[in-house]
Structures are given as structure tokens and as C-alpha cells.
Amino acid sequence: MTLGPDDVAYIAHLARLEIDPGDVPLYVRNLNEILELVERMGDAPCEGVQPMAHPLHAVQPLREDRVTEGDRREALQKIAPAIADGLYLVPRVIE
Amino acid sequence: MLDRTIAELGEALRRREVSSRELTAAALAAGADSTLNCYVTLCEEQALAQAESADARLAAGEAGPLTGIPLAHKDIFCTEGIRTTCGSRMLDNFVSPYDATVVRRLADAGCVTVGKTNMDEFAMGSSNETSYFGPVSNPWDEARVPGGSSGGSAAAVAARLVPAATGTDTGGSIRQPAALCGISGLKPTYGRVSRYGMIAFASSLDQAGPLARSAEDCAILLGAMAGHDPRDSTCIERPVPDYRSALGQPLAGLTLGLPREYFGDGLDAAVGDAVHAAIDVLSAAGASVREISLPRQDLSIPAYYVVAPAECSSNLSRFDGVRYGHRCENPRDLEDLYKRSRGEGFGAEVKRRIMIGTYVLSAGYYDAYYLQAQKVRQLISDDFQQAFAQVDLIVGPTSPSVAFARGERTDDPVAMYLSDIYTNAVNLAGLPGISVPCGFAGGLPVGLQIVGNHFGEARLLNAAHQYQLATDWHRRAPERGAG
């Protein structure tokens, strides 16, 4: 299928990306070109093929459920854009 | 001095012909003087402190092969207390609170971190032109790209600014810039090196590796970088062989496979000639050569451009303007905060890939795109396994052309993606691959790619090393090298 300007605007919304309206036509063109490239694999015969879950067919290792990291709140919040009393600040969500 | 290999510099350091402080000061000065834009950050203070401590260990006779060697890290690796940008405005102000495992391991082995190298934004690109910090020039021709995404690392090593650098390879991002800059670059098996602290792009494909002047140097560096890390659940628990001691094997008895799909339309004729000449050298050194087929190779770029963007859209959702990174001014509400922070923080290529990934994972499209791509990925991997039942290593070109002109492909994402036509499949299958210099076409370096089976790094490095014993392409330096 081919994406139109409304589709691209909706995808940008889903991805929480602000796109300059002037840039939408270029994104429409680029995304359609990329999807055209991608669709070359659409006809590949894949009946009975298991989708790859891991290139080495390895399984996720498990470990004991215990705390292994120390408290680094101060160091981690030092790089936050806005904090107060150890909390991250965002615009008001609930009126 | 900086034009020597790690193997040679290690000797010189242990013989006390030069100090780590002198080497480090020279690398810092070369980095500061260079006009190639290889570095985003130079770490003068920390580097000189690390060098002094390396010199103390050298004086005490406690030095290993990497003690005192100056090294640059791709700016995708988190470095505690040092800005880590990933080539993005999003992380322009990000000072990492911890070290990546790769950074920690190389520091523990005695390496000195000279600086953080420029790269395509979030490693998405094949030319280093998507960096927020500007493009990197190829030291062989400054009007041309160094390749990408590890373009700053490759150009710095090629220009003799630093003996070696780290990189990451999701679809060719170590091998392709190594080829275009005329150096050696190794992408290890998926899971061989820890991804902890390496900013994630596509987690099922990303892998860290070295860029250096020789296969031997890559072997030394991989030995320090590789190994199990409980902090990366995809890092495989398997002993790390002594790669360097495996470099003396003769090639007699080794069978090399030439995939006919790597030598078809689209390959620049002069690049093909250089690669064929390299295969003749390997053959003269005792390897037997046979043609093989990787019949589903043409599906690798389509499958890659579903899997990689899908994983990127998920990984990059963490950049929300709340906990770290860029935050827009005066957000109206939470959604505005997310949208504008991300809209301002990410460049066009990153936005394209996030949107493609969001689309292919969205309800109603998942089966046709993502599930189909993961099936195709299995077919591509099966092709490699069938080939490895007949041959020990696969050889061919790394890139279909030599370094292209800056700006040539920036308006055409698909043309840019096709730069990685011989490298993408290797990532999809999780295999190790190396690019080594094998000649020139029109005065620009050509890379030979050697691909091995899973965990076959020792065999692959040995073949590359044997090739470098018989040739001197890896010794050629661009005229404007730092010397």
C-alpha cells in the first residue's frame, strides 16, 4: 500500500514525534520508497519457516531475583532536565 | 609514532622507547589539529591521568599488550563523567553516569581513552552525514564520506590520529567504514561482546568491535573486549580464545567460498578486480577457493529495513525528555513534551526509521512486515549454514563501491541503504565478519570482507592476518596522515 500525508501524520503521532508540516511531503516520499524496497521480500516463499527469535537460537538466561545494583538516584538524577525532592518533573497530567 | 600498530607500540612502550604520556599527548594534539571532524569530544584530562597510571604499570613491569595504548571510543559507548552524544542533539548534554562494559574492559586492560568519535546519529547511516555534529571527511579525499556509522572511528584510525578505535556494527557500520577508509575492522559474532552501556539501536543485530590498522591489532583488542557479562542478557557465556596466538596458522587446507551473488551487477568493476586479486593471494598462500551461492541474499536489505527500524522504534522510545537528554522549552502538556522533545532532538534519518518501525509493528501490518522479515531472516541464515557445510570462510567485497562523494546519497535513503548490500545479511545471521584493505580503485581504498561461522573469529582473524603478511595494503597511509 502507499502512505499518504494523513498516514504519515498519524504514524508520527503514534511515535510521539513532532514533524514540521512542511516536511510531511518529503517524509511521504521517503517512507513510500523505503516500503517499496521492503516489499521485495513480500513474495518470498516462507511456508513452514519458523520466524527467527535469536540468531544463535540461544535462550534468555535467568538469574535469581535479588537486588544487585546500589542506590544511584543522585547520580542518575543529576542529568535530568527537571527534578525536585528526588522526583522527575513533568507538566501537570491530572487537573 | 602514531602510525605504528598496537603490536609495535606495545613493544616500544615495554622497552621504554616511548611513554604512554608521550603517545597520548601526541594523539590528543593530532585529534585537536585534524580538520576531518573525527572527534565529538577529546578527553584530555582523563586521558593524561590514565596514561600516567599506565606508565607507572609499565615501569613496574606489570604491563599487558594494551597497557598505555591510546584508543578512541565511538560516541555510542557510555563513558562515566564524559559526554556521550550518540551523534544526536537528543544527547548533546548527556554525561553518562556509568561506563559501558567495553569501555571498562579496555580501560582495565590499560588502554587510554583519547576521545569520543563522531558517528551517524544513533548509528543510523552509512556515510557519517546524519551526525548532529557535522559530517566526517575521508582522509583519502576530504570531499568524500568515510562511510558509517562508525565513520569518525574509521577516519581517525586511517588518518593516523590514533592507533585504534571501537565501533559498533548493526548492518555494516564497522566493516563498511573500515573498507572506505582503508583499515581493518571486525564485527564479532552476535553476543561475543557485551552491549551493556552501548546505546541500543537494533538489539538483535548490534555488536561492538574494533577498528585498527591490522588484523593482529583487531585480535588483541577483541581479546580484551569479548566475554560474558551478566549485565547483557544476550552476551553469550563461552570462553574467549587467545585470538592472537591463533594467528600463526597456515592457510593450507582452508576452503574459501565465493558467493556468486556478491560479484554480480552493482559491484564496481575496479572494486571487483581488487577483491579477485586478494582472493588470488589467499589462494597462493594455500587456501582452496570454490564458488558458492547464497540464493536469498537479495532479500537481506528488505528484511533488514523491517527488523532494524522496528527495533529502533522500540529502543528509542526511551528518549522522552523526562529523565535525561533533550527537553523542549515550555511544554504545554505531557504529550507536547514528548512530541517536541523528540521532534527537536532527532534528525531526519532517525525520524524516518522510527516511523517505518512504528508502521511495520502497528496493528494489521505486523504479520506482513515484521513476522515475514523474521522468517526471511531465518532463510538467509539457512543459506549461510548450507554454505558453511562446504567452506570454512566466505570472502567477497565489503562494499559495492569505494568512498562516495559527500551529499551524493543524502536525499535518497534507499540508495544509501544499498551501500550495505554485502554486509546486512551477516548481521541478520549473527555471524562474525572482518574487512581488511585489499587495494585501491581510483586512488581510494577497497575492502575485502571475510565472513566466518558463529564464534569463528580466530579462524577469520588468522586468514586476514595471513593475507596481511603477504601484502602491504594495510600499511598504506593517506598523504595527510598525522604521521
For B5-59, the pLDDT digits (tens) are 999 999 999 999 999 999 999 999 999 999 999 999 999 999 999 999 999 999 9
Joined together, the cell numbers standing for residue B472 give 602491504
Catalytic site includes residue B187: no
- H/E run at residue B31: helix B20-33
Per-residue DSSP letter, A52: P
CB-CB under 8 Å, B343 with A19: yes
Write out pLDDT tens, residues B147-206: 999 999 999 999 999 999 999 999 999 999 999 999 999 999 999 999 999 999 999 999
Instruction: Name the nearest CA neighbour of B216 among B195, B243, B188.
Output: B243
Contact status of A46 with chain B (Cβ, < 8 Å):
yes
- How many CB atoms neighbour CB B411 within 10 A? 11
Q: What is the largest CA-CA distance in chain B?
A: 69
3-state DSSP assignment of residue B95 = strand
Distance between CA atoms of residues B57 and B148, nearest Å: 36
Higher pLDDT, A55 or B422: B422
Per-residue pLDDT band for B435 (boundaries 50, 70, 90) equals very high
Residue B150, preceding peptide bond in cis (omega within 30° of 0): no
Instruction: Name the nearest CA neighbour of B42 among B102, B150, B118, B151.
Output: B118
Residues of chain A found within 8 Å of residue B352, distances taken between Cβ atoms:
27, 30-31, 34
CB-CB under 8 Å, A16 with B359: no
Distances in Å between the Cα of A75 and the Cα atoms of B80, B81, B143, B258, B280 are 11, 10, 42, 52, 56
3-state DSSP assignment of residue B58 = helix
Q: Which of residues 60-79 of A touch B (CB under 8 A)?
A: 60-61, 63, 72, 75-76, 78-79
Catalytic site includes residue B173: yes
Contact between residue B92 and residue B132 where contact means Cβ atoms under 8 Å apart: yes
Write out pLDDT tens, residues B296-324: 999 999 999 999 999 999 999 999 999 99
Cα nearest neighbour of A56 on chain B: B430
Distance between CA atoms of residues B435 and B180, nearest Å: 10
Write out pLDDT tens, residues B242-266: 999 999 999 999 999 999 999 998 9
Q: What is the distance in angstroms between the Cα of A9 and the nearest Cα belonging to chain B?
A: 10
Question: Residue B324 is nearest to which of A33, A46, A79, comparing CB atoms?
Answer: A79
pLDDT at A57: 84
The amino acid at residue B370 is Y
B393-397 and B255-259 beta bridge pairing: parallel
Joined together, the cell numbers standing for residue B101 give 562494559
- How many CB atoms neighbour CB A71 within 10 A? 8
Per-residue DSSP letter, B260: G
Residues of chain A found within 8 Å of residue B373, distances taken between Cβ atoms:
38, 41
Residues of chain A found within 8 Å of residue B324, distances taken between Cβ atoms:
79-81
Contact between residue B89 and residue B131 where contact means Cβ atoms under 8 Å apart: no
Write out pLDDT tens, residues B326-352: 999 999 999 999 999 999 999 999 999
Distance between CA atoms of residues B130 and B126, nearest Å: 9
- By CB atoms closer than 10 A (0-12, 13-18, 19+), residue B8 is middle
pLDDT at A59: 82
Q: What is the distance in angstroms between the Cα of A72 and the nearest Cα belonging to chain B?
A: 9
pLDDT over 70 for what percent of chain B? 99
Half-sphere exposure of B344 (CA within 13 A, CB side): 15
When pLDDT is averaged across residues B75-101 and rounded to a whole number, the result is: 97
Q: What are phi and psi of A64, to 5 degrees?
A: -60, 145
Write out pLDDT tens, residues A20-76: 999 999 999 999 999 999 999 999 999 999 999 888 888 888 889 999 889 999 999
Residues of chain A found within 8 Å of residue B412, distances taken between Cβ atoms:
33
Cα nearest neighbour of B93 on chain A: A79
Cα nearest neighbour of B95 on chain A: A79
3-state helix vs strand vs coil in chain A, percent to 5 = 40, 5, 60
Per-residue pLDDT band for B480 (boundaries 50, 70, 90) equals low
Cα nearest neighbour of B228 on chain A: A61
Question: Residue A34 is nearest to which of B230, B335, B356, comparing CB atoms?
Answer: B356
Contact status of A53 with chain B (Cβ, < 8 Å):
yes
Joined together, the cell numbers standing for residue A47 give 511456508
Q: Which one of B34, B149, B214, B313 is the catalytic residue?
A: B149
Q: Is the pLDDT of residue B482 over 60?
A: no
What does the DSSP assignment read for B277-307?
A: HHHHHHHHTT-EEEEE--TTGGGHHHHHHHH
Instruction: Name the nearest CA neighbour of A39 among A72, A87, A68, A3.
Output: A3
Q: Is the pLDDT of residue A1 over 70?
A: no
CB-CB under 8 Å, A3 with B191: no
Which residues are within 8 A (CB) of B387 and not within 5 positions of it... i.e. 6 or more apart?
B257, B259, B292, B293, B294, B394
Q: Is the pLDDT of residue B481 over 70?
A: no
Residues of chain B found within 8 Å of residue A63, distances taken between Cβ atoms:
230
Joined together, the cell numbers standing for residue B225 give 573486549
Contact status of A59 with chain B (Cβ, < 8 Å):
no
- pTM beyond cutoff 0.90: yes
pLDDT at A60: 80
Q: What is the distance in angstroms between the Cα of B309 and the nearest Cα belonging to chain A?
A: 11
Contact status of A3 with chain B (Cβ, < 8 Å):
yes
Q: Which one of B19, B20, B34, B74 is the catalytic residue?
A: B74
Joined together, the cell numbers standing for residue B146 give 568515510
CB-CB under 8 Å, B375 with A51: yes
3-state DSSP assignment of residue B42 = strand
What does the DSSP assignment read for B350-399?
A: HHHHHHHHHHHTSTTTTIIIIIHHHHHHHHHHHHHHHHHTT-SEEEEESS
Q: Which residues pair with B115 in a beta bridge?
A: B42, B72
pLDDT at B483: 39
Q: Which one of B137, B173, B419, B435 is the catalytic residue?
A: B173
Residues of chain A found within 8 Å of residue B354, distances taken between Cβ atoms:
15, 17
Q: What are phi and psi of B473, to 5 degrees?
A: -60, -35
First to last CA, chain B: 7
Cα nearest neighbour of B96 on chain A: A79
Instruction: Name the nearest CA neighbour of A13 among B301, B125, B355.
Output: B355
CB-CB under 8 Å, B430 with A55: yes
Question: Residue A27 is nearest to which of B355, B360, B362, comparing CB atoms?
Answer: B355
Catalytic site includes residue B150: no
The amino acid at residue B452 is G
Average confidence score pLDDT of chain B: 97
Joined together, the cell numbers standing for residue B190 give 552476535
3-state DSSP assignment of residue B89 = helix
Distance between CA atoms of residues B468 and B434, nearest Å: 13
